[in-house]
Amino acid sequence: MKRIFSLLAIVLIFSASLFAQTEPVKQSKKFERLLNYIDAMYVDTANIAKITEVAIVKMLQELDPHSAYISADDVAKSKEQLDGSFDGIGVQFRLIQDTIVIQDVISGGPSEKVGLKSGDRIVKVDDEVVAGIKIDNSGVAKRLRGKKGTKVTVGILRQGEKDLLYFDIIRDKIPIHSVDAFYTVGDVGYVKLNKFARTTEAEMDSAFRYFTQKKVKNIILDLSDNTGGYLDQAVTLCSRFIEPNKSIVYTKGEKMPRYDYNSKEMNPELVNRTGKLVVIIDENSASASEITSGAIQDWDRGVIVGRRSFGKGLVQREMTLTDGSIVRLTIARYYTPSGRCIQKPYSSYEEYNKDLLNRYNHGEYYHKDSIKFNDSLKYNTLKYKRTVYGGGGIMPDDFVPLDTTLRSDYHLALQRKNIFFPTISEYIDKHKDELKKKYVDVEGFAKNFEVPDEFMKTMLAKAKDAKINVDSLQKATPAQEIYLKNHIKSSMASDIWGNSAFWVIFNQQDPTVKRAFEIIGDDKLYNSLLKKK
């Protein structure tokens, strides 16, 4: 009898637990009641669906900066950057405090060609003010997307500029490729990766097959401006450089147990685990870029060059809601093999969104000494026991300051008024066959071609026709003149031989890439950076 009563007690306790009101259940009923009151008694007709979406967005903002809500209408569009293609101006954006903020400018797209940058705020589209009007993602897409060949003018608020900057952009088919370029210089292979997409592994396979064919010994991996993407692609990329079964990253959250991601076996033709490796990062390198650079740094596998990375180390999981909308909920944090947390602090949502601006104002982009580390967050690399720091982002082994003096006012004006690239395209349309006959490949073009004086005169005439007051602009320095002509030359090469050709020439004037080649070409310098305490 005692046993029967004991079993009955257990059943009753279990049943009671099923019907007990958990905190989420209690709060959902509270919210449901409020919606019913609004629907039944509010003075005007209320859009209950819209109110609910606003509440969800605000709720997620209270959690962390990267938990996000995507409406059912925007789900397909949200995947395009990593999985598809579209017609538009070629930017990734976020809505921050009712303003369109450009997160990423898609390489090879129309916005890059006129000079838009990450961090720019779009406040006008054609003659319409779009800041402070409670615009949503679909409203942004409606204004910025459009048929290939159509024009849109955007007004941009940019840090450091007092007045709005206006850019005329011709919409185009936006290429979704993750590898911008790969080429060789001697025994060094250079590859630039702009995101970690579904196609990244296949694209990197092509690059490594080419490197194998060219007998490449050492590699420069350029992750500057790479805002991340799929975790599995980062693990595969690291596996090309790090021997199998080594920790690449692990995740852990209060409700999520630790999960380790290790390097894997790969085709020997598609790896380089013994040659010198230099990885380029900057303040826009985030998430999967930081997983990659963090693992390479922690295993002392290569030298990291550039500026401190963004500091995005929160793991999101997609969950579908009842109407097909999606919540990307943060469930864990990323940790490098040495135990460093990649994520920077985010106690204040507003301060978090100002972090890059604050770095700029504090001089971090220009002076390594402006970067302060917390001694309580010291870690050691796994092979040479070098000191590295947690607390957000990956600090490079070799710091390269940002150079904002390379583009002259005239250069910037040509881009903003959309004169730069159309003038180049017109020239190449007339001279492409002649140039291809004279220069067999991009290497010959890079070495021997000089931008003609007649082309520069044509560009100047077009600038004046577009009402650019050239005489009022500050005179370009000799270095700026060289940089402008190098940009023209690299863009011409791109129109003839494709996007990789652009980077072959453009990188010759890029301070960070030049430094990467200097390090990888000097055994003593490379080893001193890799083994310093």
Per-residue tens of pLDDT for the chain, all 533 residues: 545 545 444 444 544 454 456 888 888 889 889 999 999 999 999 999 899 889 988 888 888 888 888 888 777 666 655 555 577 888 877 776 678 888 677 777 888 889 888 778 899 999 889 888 888 887 888 888 888 889 999 999 887 788 899 999 999 887 678 999 999 999 999 999 999 998 899 999 999 999 999 999 999 999 999 999 999 999 999 999 999 999 999 999 999 999 999 999 999 999 999 999 999 999 999 999 999 999 999 999 999 999 999 999 999 888 998 888 899 999 999 999 999 998 988 887 777 888 888 888 888 989 888 888 888 789 999 999 999 998 889 999 999 999 989 999 999 999 998 889 889 888 987 898 899 899 989 999 999 999 999 999 999 999 999 999 999 999 999 999 999 999 999 999 988 887 889 999 999 999 999 999 999 999 999 999 998 86
Identical topology for domains 85-174 and 179-317+330-402? no
The most distant pair of C-alpha atoms in the chain lies apart, rounded to whole Å, by: 105
Structure tokens at 345: 């602090």
Asked if 295 and 37 count as a contact pair (C-beta separation under 8 A), the reply is: no
Helices 478-497 and 453-465 cross at an angle (nearest 10°) of 100
Q: What is the pLDDT of residue 167?
A: 93
CA distance 399 to 136: 39
Residue whose token pair is 């850019």: 167
Q: What is the pLDDT of residue 107?
A: 72
Supply φ then ψ for residue 510, to 5 degrees: -90, 120
Quote the CA–CA distance of 450 and 440 in Å, as a whole number: 15
Q: How far apart are CA 529 and CA 524, in angstroms?
A: 9
Query: How far, CA to CA in Å, does 311 sit from each of 159, 230, 283, 346, 347?
Result: 20, 16, 8, 10, 14
Nearest to 302 by CA among 521, 517, 520: 520
Q: Measuring CA to CA, which residue among 296, 232, 281 is closest to residue 393? A: 281
Measured distance CA(502)–CA(504) in Å, rounded: 6
Residue 195 identity? K
Mutual angle of helices 453-465 and 409-416, in 10-degree steps:
60
Say how far apart CA 115 and CA 91 lie, in whole Å.
12
Superfamily of structural domain 179-317+330-402: 2-enoyl-CoA Hydratase; Chain A, domain 1 (3.90.226.10)
What is the predicted pLDDT for the residue at 517? 98
Cα separation, 170 vs 163, in Å, equals: 23
Chain segment 484-531, per-residue pLDDT in tens: 999 999 999 988 887 889 999 999 999 999 999 999 999 999 999 998
401 CA to centre of own chain: 19
CATH assignment of 85-174?
A: 2.30.42.10
d(CA 379, CA 163): 44
CB-count burial class (<10 Å; 0-12, 13-18, 19+) for 450: exposed
For the packed helices 499-506 and 478-497, what is the interaxial angle rounded to 10 degrees?
160
**Rounded distance between C-alpha atoms, residue 50 and residue 136, angstroms:** 11
Res 84: pLDDT: 52
- SS3 state at 467: coil
Cα–Cα distances in Å, from 164 out to 96, 268, 315, 417, 463?
A: 18, 52, 36, 13, 19
Q: What is the DSSP letter of 389?
A: E
Report domain extents, the chain.
Answer: 23-62, 85-174, 179-317+330-402, 409-513
Residue 11 has what pLDDT? Answer: 47
